[in-house]
Structure 1
Amino acid sequence: MSDDTPAQAGSFEPEGPGREALDVLYRFVAALELAPTVAVHSTDRNGIVRYWNHTCADVFGITAAEAVGRPLASLASHLDREEDFKNTLELVWNTGRTAPPRDWHIRRLDGEERWLYSTHFPVLRDGVPQQLFCMEVDISKRKVDEAELIEAGANFRQLFERSTDAIVLIEGNRIIDVNPAALALFHCAAKPDIVGKTLLDFSPEVQATGETSVVADAAVTARAFIDGNYRYEWEYALADGTHFWAEVLLTSVTLDHEFLSYAVLRDISPRKAAEHALAMAARVFENSRDAILITDSQYRVIAVNQAFTTLTGIAAGEVMGGEVPGLRSGTHEPSFYQQIWDFVGVHDHWEGEVCCVRRGEDDVPVWVAVTAIRDSAEQISNYMAIMTDITERKRAEEQTRHLAEHDFLTDLPNRVLFLDRLHQALVSARRQHNKVAVMFLDLDRFKGINDSFGHHVGDAVLKEVATRLTGCVRGVDTVSRQGGDEFVVILADIGGVDQAAHVATSVMHAVAQPVRSNGHTISLSVSIGIAICPDDGLDVDTLLQHADVAMYHAKQNGRNAFSFFNADMNAHVIERVQIENELRHALSNQEFFLEYQPEVNIASGLTIAVEALLRWRHPQRGLLMPHQFLQVAEECGLMVQIGEWVLRQACAQARAWRDEGCPVVVAVNLSGAQFLHGGLAHSVDDALRLSGLAPEFLDLEITESVIMRGDEATMATVTALRERGVQLTIDDFGTGYSSLSFLRRYPLTKLKIDRSFVDEIPEHDTTANLIPAIIAVARSLKLRVIAEGVETAEQLMFLQQHGCDDYQGFYASMASTEPDLKPRPR
């Protein structure tokens, strides 16, 4: 919480007690402090007073401020029983057990003498006494009454009958008479209900021992005769099921020349309940995990528990009698604490976070609840502060917040934190009149890394890229992973586009360094789009959109490049979105159709197959070729659906031609998306079944990139297709990175040389060597070889000389909707 608003309540509960637990602690401490008839004080092992409640001030004539920190022995004397008193306290310390209550005759410092009925009990922590608490009741007036009763002599019978205290006459160990007050106390209608019994007859089956009672038997009676009187406490169980506690004064008396004893019983059940609550309060106070500090109305410390010392490193003796402001840390201004006291004085409660200095250590965050304790006159008598170390909670909250704001894989800021930082950067840019750049990065062909080497290698690559990107920017900049292989960089407070271009160049160089993971060496490149504020947008959404558009433009222009946003790029992206939307309706509107390009055998000149080529008859744009829409179809997930339509249409057309006497193989191109979809073999089965086409008349063309995946799923799919009897051609051979070891694993039937090699025949010397080498590779694998894109007689002659089997292209014929089986010129 801030220093200027200390009176604001906190927004979360402390790590230790919750709101209800704090209320319980408050009630316990208030019970200790405000007990109206019981004086409660405590001492440490050295006999130094550590706690002194308000009633002690009345009983001993000494305030808490004067008593705390002084030896108890210096505050009152026990007359001729001082040694006995010391032995009683020592016994409690040594045994850890409560001393039986007894009377003590004391002389105060002002000379006044009083009789106190005292119970001493230890407060344990881990079984070891930490403090010795004493609860004392002033019985000075009662002592006078008892003395008068004993001295009454001949008037005993009259006092016996009229006494408001229960009196029981005992002979030996039997009750021989009771007064009316005793009948009322024992809930008896007449004397026969009690006369003849012993006092023990009214005891519960399990009587408390060791703390506040002794055994009332013949031995006690005998001691009464010897000592004159004896006081003890006892719990009685009545016939109606009720219980009560009584203070019993057993006294010997001579009545009618007989030696008797009588017991004066006074119901002390309310006092016992109060004492129990006070004892519980003392134990809670000492054993609480939360630090508790109690002051008087002048903010002077009168009690602290052990948890306070653990939290602050300050011993109790160092703060007793001192003012709480002496505990201030250097973090908060003095006015901060004064506002807290002022707030509590009005509202009785305040809680919030405070920085506490632990001795010899760094500052500790502490949740503090300060409560005013008021007396019966509604005046503030004390203040109680409960302090909870929230270091672990703060650490856990920080960790939770970090997890919520950072990418789980790279630990870079995620989209949530990125948007917040971009918003702050834009606000600062408007205020400082400077520029901010947003760079949208996408790794080129990253999907192939996951497909070829596995996602664990892909994850390792992403982590390495994240590290490299962070190393390319300043501390004030932000690198964020948006998901997948997309990253975004905020370049705050830049001078202009040149600085952004420099960073983009550094990023491209860093990403281009080979990544080694799991025994693989992987080469990477990245496409980057850059938008500048305020030139390309003033708000978060606009800048991100324009940076994305620029990145897409960089990919369209060959990848491994960066591009700044401009309006023409945006128009291109808008057009792409329109095409995507129109593609989604093209199938249902029957706007697609197939054209067929013949594949001609070089030796015979006969058409041996046709390749199905997809065309889109767009209602507004006219005829669209595959390069104008297939990539969009791949990116928006429509390729599987379109591919299945092409497969069914091609098979149906091939069967129709076969029925017309033109048995020709139809070649259909497969996309990588159809392999990833997992239902390719089923789609082929459906197309063959619905058309009735024999499998050997279907040639499926697979791209080199699919073959290069080398994963088990791709291998299984290719094997399953070949087992069905269809032909399999590797398309666009030479444009990828396939090797003999990969090709040997697949049951292929044909290899198609990419048109980029054919275009360079015969001008390029390198091609003159590459094409024969490709044909030799195919021969070693027992594959037929077909060249695509043949447009001149020179190209065809070169292919024929080097043993190429088949060709296709405009030289063979213009694409047509029907096969032509006549020989072609060679």
Structure 2
Amino acid sequence: MKGTIVSADKPADTGSVEPEGPGREALDVLYRFVAALELAPTVAVHSTDRNGIVRYWNHTCAEVFGLFSADAVGRPLTSLVSHLDREDDFRNTLETVWKTGRTAPPRDWRIRRQDGAERWLYSTYFPVLRDGVTQQLFCMEVDVSKRRVDEAALIEAGTNFRQLFERSTDAIVLIKGNDIVDLNPAAVALFRCADKQELVGKTLLDFSPEVQATGETSIVADAAVKARAFIDGNHRYEWEFCLADRTHIWSEVLLTSVTLDHEFLSYAVLRDISPRKAAEHALAMAARVFEHSRDAIVITDRHYLVIAVNQAFTDLTGVTVVDVMGGEVPGLRSGMHEPTFYQQIWDYVAVHDHWEGEVCCVQRGDEEFPVWVAVTAIRDSAEQVSNYMAIMTDITARKRAEEQTRYLAEHDFLTDLPNRMLFLDRLRQALVSARRQHTKVGVLFLDLDRFKGINDSFGHHVGDAVLKEVAIRLSGCVRGVDTVSRQGGDEFVVILADIGGVDQAAHVATSVMHAVAQPVRSDSHTISLSVSIGIAIGPDDGLDVDTLLKNADVAMYHAKQNGRNAFSFFNADMNAHVIERVQIENELRHALANQEFVLEYLPEINIASGRTIAVEALLRWRHPQRGLLLPHQFIGVAEECGLMVQIGDWVLQQACARARAWRDEGCPVVVAVNLSGAQFIDGDLVHSVEEALRLSGLAPELLDLQITESVIMRGDEATMATIATLRARGVQLTIDDFGTGYSSLSFLRRYPLTKLKIDRSFVEDIPQSDAVTNAPANLIPAIIAVARSLKLRVIAEGVETAEQLLFLQQHGCDDYQGYYASMASSDLDFKPRPR
């Protein structure tokens, strides 16, 4: 059978999955309507298309016409039944309905079946419209052969009319003119009156509602028209009556002229057809729902042969009614699955009455798309399966929306890389595969070096552009089976699946570092990048996801600690170092509150006079368990965890307060305070300095702020503005550790500095003797010359011997500090302290 192919992985999977097409309530409604069409016990329902071909044939049609659906569907209706004496009239009636789109008035037809039997059928034809155009004609027919026999006997009764009148189980009303002159007991019961006198003298129109409903059309009652209808004998009508108790019923009215006791009368035989009208209304509604449903509907007999499909089925599958009618459900013999696959579905439905699930549908053009299929068994009054109904809904749009939602939930919004959720899932799969294949998994934890400075200097839009470019470069460094994920911020993680060992991971890390190092151009800026990478290899460095990630992070931190722009493999010593770092961070957060920080002061001596002209405040941490900790043991952690600004503010306030106390004691001395790069990034440094001066009352010129070369070399407008503002306040500014960075004269000229400090590494190179021939030491005169060109004072740190001091004095250095300076100081009681 050509056409649709349906498939599902688990045909017996039902109950736990909600319908994805029509809702559960909608499915129930469709089921009830279709069951109403199929199982209507007294009403034969069939439909024909514009060519008169039968498209639908319910069970009752088989009883009325003597033909089963398999013998009727697909054949012209006129070839199945003959309308005796009125064939042309019948064709005209159908043509009128097609043209007008209005329901034909119900009427009796005498027909002859193919087996020769004659029947009287009471028929109603109504159109099923779509967009105002008639698509099919549905007909509801009731076998009234027995009724016609009874009516004929009543008419022929003649002299026995009175006896039949009184005994008839049908309601009979005698009418003279328009007035009721008599009625039998059955009529009294029909109108629910106490006796006939309540009706005598009235007209039947007195019991008619103002608006008559005929099919789907309501018309305002016209008394004159109704009156003529009731007195023009030999007419049959369906009429709605409002009874004495205000309830409404539908009645079939047969008006016939009769002479009784030499009087010309009309009598009306009334039969209560309310149940039938209700059934017809339900069936008409079912037919319209069937035809107008946006979901494809297929109805089969108990042998799975198609007996009806709606237009939505053709729209969905591309299979026409002619192709599918009378055959098996499309796809059952398509070759995509074994017959047992589909039989499992039918067997399940036979037991449980329902199955539904997502399947794959293939149109004639071999285009695949997902559909939701609900198959339901329709049982007759004997609880035997008489039909099956399948409802198919195209869920392509919903599946696409689901896939898009899932994609957004699993991918980073900025770089479009897998996010942490998808990354973790893929890492689990990679570990499972590695265990099965006896291979290894590499996890590379990447962090861009100093990325925060890019955001601060150029703006977040440039930072976002950089991250996008990095994501593209990382993806180009790995295989298709690998995964690159952005974890957040400037952190990326790479999964190297099924690798042989560390060499392959190192090769990828090298490629990544080279790719990231290429300049990034964005918004007229050229930005240089570097990356620190930590590598963990599974299962060697961890058997589970959490352990591997943690160890790769530890290795990355180690790479940063060792100077950045490098990669490092995990080992146990790294882990111990990170554990210690985390512990220090936790203890740092309580150090300020517990007053564990102290300041020690290192004197700065003027070489010419030998007097102490300034002191440098040095931060110490009196740890309750570890003892006295020097800055290099905790400052880095404080900067990384965001505590440096808070600690720096404390140092400023304490140093200024101490300098003010010395001044009050008659020892006006400048206090030098080292600034962290984090204090510049925070953006509130000027306020912090002004607050420390205000609280202490110290004159600004007695505060010397020492700034590292790395801060100077940033060269951004915010840093320049901060330094300029501080200098304008009268604060002194020293460039610290000069010579260890990459300062240039052009940069130094842009800043209003007051002093330059030679790094101790140059002073240490001054030998005990033969200083003139020492190359590193010979850089000191050059540095002093640079300072003189910039009109800066020069101070050297780390002076420990008289020979070093003599060398500095000979080359014009202004001040010095160090162990030797502490020993030589006499103005204040300074104890020598290591820096």
TM-score by length of 2: 0.90
Q: Deviations over 1:199-234 (max 9, x none)?
A: 2232222222475899786556657776x5111112
1:249 is aligned to 2:254: yes
Q: Does structure 1 residue 401 correspond to structure 2 residue 406?
A: yes
User: Deviations 1:418-439 (Å, cap 9, x if unpaired)?
Assistant: 2222222222222222222111
User: Structure 1 pair 201/641, CA: closer, same or farther in 2 (3 Å)?
Assistant: same
- The alpha carbon displacement at 1:744 in A equals 7.8
CA distance in 2, matches of 1:623, 1:569: 24
Shift in Å at residue 584 of structure 1?
3.0
Partner of 1:775: 787
Distance 1:198 1:814, change over 3 A: farther
Q: Give how far 1:77 is off.
A: 1.0
Counterpart contact for 1:760–1:767, Cα < 8 Å: no
Distance verdict in 2 for CA 1:308–1:325, change over 3 Å: closer
Partner SS for 2:563: coil
Change (3 A) 1:711 1:560: closer
C-alpha distance in 1, partners of 2:713/2:270? 101
Deviation of the 1:309 alpha carbon: 0.9
Say yes or no: does 1:528 pair with 2:540. Answer: no
- Residue 165 of structure 1: how far off its partner (Å): 2.0
- 2:458 aligned with 1:446, yes or no? no
Verify: 1:459 aligned to 2:471, yes or no: no
Equivalent residue for 2:599, pick from 591, 594, 602: 594
C-alpha spacing 1:233/1:765, structure 2 compared with 1 (3 Å): farther
Task: Name the counterpart of 2:278.
Answer: 273
Match of 2:139 in 1: 134
- Which one is further off, 556-565 or 587-596? 587-596
Question: More deviation in 806-815 or 145-154?
Answer: 806-815
Paired residues for 1:674-685 under 5 Å: 674-677=679-682, 680-685=685-690
Once residues 398 and 349 of structure 1 are traced to their aligned partners in structure 2, the CA distance between those partners, rounded to angstroms, is 28
Matched, 1:420 2:405: no
Amino acid aligned to 2:697: G
d(CA) in 2 for partners of 1:372, 1:490 = 51
Counting only pairs closer than 5 Å after superposition, residues 51-62 of structure 1 correspond to structure 2 as: 51-62=56-67
The reply on whether 1:42 has 2:54 as its aligned counterpart is no
Paired residues in the alignment total 818
- Shift in Å, 1:352: 1.2
2:302–2:387 Cα contact (<8 Å) kept: yes
Written as runs of structure 1 = structure 2, the 5 A alignment for 1:276-355 is 276-324=281-329, 326-327=331-332, 329-355=334-360
Other-structure match for 2:769: none
Equivalent residue, structure 2, for 1:6: 11
The worse-fitting range, judged by mean Cα deviation, of 735-744 and 685-694 is 735-744
- Number of the residue aligned with 2:618: 613
For 1:677 and 1:816, the matched residues in 2 are separated by 37
SS at match of 2:587: helix
- In the aligned structure 2, how far is the partner of 1:229 from the partner of 1:187? 26
In structure 1, how many angstroms separate the alpha carbons of the residues matched to 2:125 and 2:746? Answer: 91
**Residue number among 401, 404, 415 corresponding to 1:410 in the alignment:** 415
The 3-state SS of whatever aligns with 2:314 is helix
Contact 1:353–1:366 (8 Å) recurs in 2:
yes
- C-alpha offsets along residues 72-102 of structure 1, whole Å, 9 cap, x if unaligned? 1111011121111111111111122111111
Letter in 2 for 1:373: I
Partner of 1:582: 587
Deviations 1:593-646 (A, max 9, x none): 112223445665543332211112334444322112100111222223322221
Q: Give 3-state SS (helix, strand or coil) of 2:667's partner.
A: coil
1:124 match: 129
Matched, 1:147 2:152: yes
* CA separation of 1:260 and 1:817: change in aligned 2, threshold 3 A: farther
Instruction: Tell me how far apart the structure 1 counterparts of residues 198 and 263 of structure 2 sit (CA, whole Å).
Output: 24
Range with greater deviation from structure 2 (351-360 or 669-678): 669-678
Following the alignment from structure 2 to structure 1, what is the Cα–Cα distance between the partners of residues 436 and 497?
A: 13
SS at match of 1:590: coil
- Distance of 2:363 and 2:557 partners within structure 1: 56
Q: Where do 1:692-703 residues align within 5 Å?
A: 692-703=697-708
Moved more, 595-604 or 767-776: 767-776
1:555 — aligned with what? Answer: 560
In structure 2, runs of 5+ residues without a counterpart are 1-5, 767-773, 831-835
Kindly indicate whether the alpha-carbon contact (under 8 Å) linking 1:325 and 1:337 is maintained by their aligned counterparts in 2. Answer: no
Instruction: Tell me the residue number matched to 2:264.
Output: 259
Q: Which of residues 753, 763, 774 is equivalent to 2:775? A: 763
Q: Secondary structure at the match of 1:80?
A: coil
State whether residues 775 and 804 of structure 1, in contact with CA within 8 Å, keep that contact through their aligned partners in structure 2.
no
In the TM superposition, residue 808 of structure 1 has moved relative to its aligned partner by 4.3
Tell me which amino acid in the other structure corresponds to 2:146: K
Q: C-alpha distance in 2, partners of 1:816/1:167? A: 137
Comparing 256-265 with 338-347, which one deviates more in the overlay?
256-265
RMSD over aligned CA atoms reads: 3.2
**Which amino acid is 1:135 matched to?**
M
The offset of 1:133, in angstroms, is 0.8
Distance 1:387 1:33 in 2: 19
SS where residue 207 of structure 1 aligns?
strand
**Is the 1:702–1:731 contact (alpha carbons within 8 Å) kept by the matching residues of 2?**
yes
Q: Which runs of 5+ in 1 are unaligned?
A: 822-826
Give the Cα–Cα distance (whole angstroms) in 2 for the partners of residues 90 and 808 of structure 1.
116
Which one-letter code corresponds to 2:82 in the other structure? Answer: S
Q: Verify the 8 A CA contact 2:7 2:361 in the aligned structure 1.
A: no
> What is the distance in 2 between the residues matched to 1:482 and 1:718?
36
Q: Which residue of 2 aligns with 1:68?
A: 73
CA offsets, 1:558-594, max 9 Å, x none? 1111122222222222222232233234334433211
The separation in 1 between residues aligned to 2:366 and 2:803, in whole angstroms, is 87
Q: 2: CA distance between counterparts of 1:774 and 1:656?
A: 36
Which residue identity does 2:300 align to in structure 1? T
* 1:194 Cα deviation after fit: 2.7
**Match for residue 542 of structure 1?**
547
- Pick the aligned partner of 1:638 from 643, 665, 675: 643
CA distance in 2 between partners of 1:610 and 1:592 (Å): 18
2-structure distance, mates of 1:23, 1:147 = 45
* Residue 233 (structure 1) aligned with residue 238 (structure 2): yes
Question: Are 2:446 and 1:434 equivalent residues in the alignment?
Answer: no
DSSP-derived class of the 1:612 partner: strand
1:516 is aligned, of 508, 512, 521, to 521
- Partner-residue secondary structure (3-state), 1:324: coil
Q: Which stretch of the first structure deviates more once superposed, 603-612 or 663-672?
A: 603-612
Q: Distance in 2 between matches of 1:505 and 1:817?
A: 57
Counterparts of 1:558 and 1:590 in 2: how far apart (Å)?
32
The structure-2 alpha-carbon separation of the partners of 1:293 and 1:424, relative to structure 1 and needing over 3 Å to count, comes to: same
- CA distance in 2 between partners of 1:357 and 1:363 (Å): 4
| Per-residue CA distance 1:630-688 (angstroms, 9 max, x = gap) | 00111222223322221222122112111111112222223333345455455445433
Take 1:291 and 1:401, find their aligned partners in 2: how far apart are those partners?
28
* Cα separation, 1, equivalents of 2:357 and 2:500: 44
SS at match of 1:119: strand
1:357 paired with 2:362, answer yes
Give the 3 Å change call, closer, same or farther, for CA 102–725 of structure 1 in structure 2. Answer: farther
The aligned residue for residue 29 of structure 2 is 24
Aligned in 2, Cα 1:391/1:256: closer, same or farther, shift over 3 Å? Answer: same
1:801, 1:81 → 2: CA distance?
Answer: 137
Write the distance in 2 (CA, Å) between the matches of 1:697 and 1:543. Answer: 53
Shifted more, 788-797 versus 670-679: the winner is 788-797
Q: TM-score, normalised by structure 1?
A: 0.91
Describe the superposition over 1:429-455 as per-residue Cα deviations: whole angstroms up to 9, x where unpaired: 222222221111111111111111111
Work out the CA distance in 1 between the residues paired with 2:717 and 2:212. Answer: 81
Q: Which residue of 2 aligns with 1:205?
A: 210
Match of 2:833 in 1: none
Matched AA of 2:94: L
Counterparts of 1:82-231 in structure 2, within 5 Å, are: 82-209=87-214, 228-231=233-236
